[in-house]
Amino acid sequence: MAEVLLFHHAHGLTRGVHAFAETLERAGHTVHVPDLYEGKVFDDLDDGVAYVRETGFGTLLERGRAAADGLPAGLVYAGFSAGVLPAQALAQTRAGAKGALLFHSCIPVSEFGEAWPPSVPVRIHSMDSDSYFMDEGDVEAARELVASAPDAELYLYPGDEHLFADSSLRAYDEKAAALLTERTLDFLAALG
């Protein structure tokens, strides 16, 4: 079974992020869910994004790296939206990464190195009309990653919600979230 380091989105460590982690754990995986916001949770996405900007992307990256300290090298790094930042950075730069799951976001590979590590499989999930993903460069970054990496896939789900896999948010889409979860569990099972 896989060991996963899962980073939350801009709302913070919500009940929905915990529920997703629990689903993976019920399938036999070990999941670590650090709180990058030091206990803060925001009802409004804009407030969470403002907190990210105020705190600084560098600080969130460092908190993500610190969360990985002391954990084994063979992790799957996963992140929801803003949590993709530390997940993708660790998947690209920390030795021994076993895989990456990028939910609702993707950052240009060049931000963390020259190329995606060929031994690290990656799956990217978003809605096909999510304005954050489609209009802010994420889809281009995802397509470039998929074109350059030997084991990478981009899944686009019908709809326009951003954080559709978090069951505690208004954006939750039960059907799309179920398919994302099924694909995630298949991915993790294939990693052994």
The 10s digit of each residue's pLDDT in 87-142 is: 999 999 999 999 999 999 999 999 999 899 999 999 999 999 999 999 999 999 99
DSSP letter string, 74-110: -PEEEEEGGGHHHHHHHHHHSTT--EEEEES----GG
Strand (E) or helix (H) holding 154: strand 152-157
**Cα dist from 130 to 114, 133, 162, 168, whole Å:** 28, 5, 5, 18
Q: Write the DSSP symbol of residue 165.
A: T
The single-letter code of the amino acid at 29 is: H
Give residue 145's pLDDT.
97
3-state secondary structure of 56: coil
Could you tell me the domains of the chain?
3-191 (3.40.50.1820)
* Sequence-ordered list of residues with C-beta below 8 angstroms from that of 104, at least 6 positions apart, any chain: 9, 80, 81, 84, 125, 126, 130, 132, 133, 162, 163, 164, 165
pTM: 0.97
Strands 76-80 and 3-7, bridge-based pairing: parallel
CA–CA gap between residue 99 and residue 1 (Å, rounded): 13
Half-sphere exposure of 145 (CA within 13 A, CB side): 34
What is the CA angle 121-125-128, rounded to 5?
A: 140
Residue 190 tokens read as 């294939």
Residue-wise pLDDT tens digits, 41-78 = 999 999 999 999 999 999 999 999 999 999 999 999 99
Q: Are 92 and 61 in contact (CB under 8 A)?
A: no
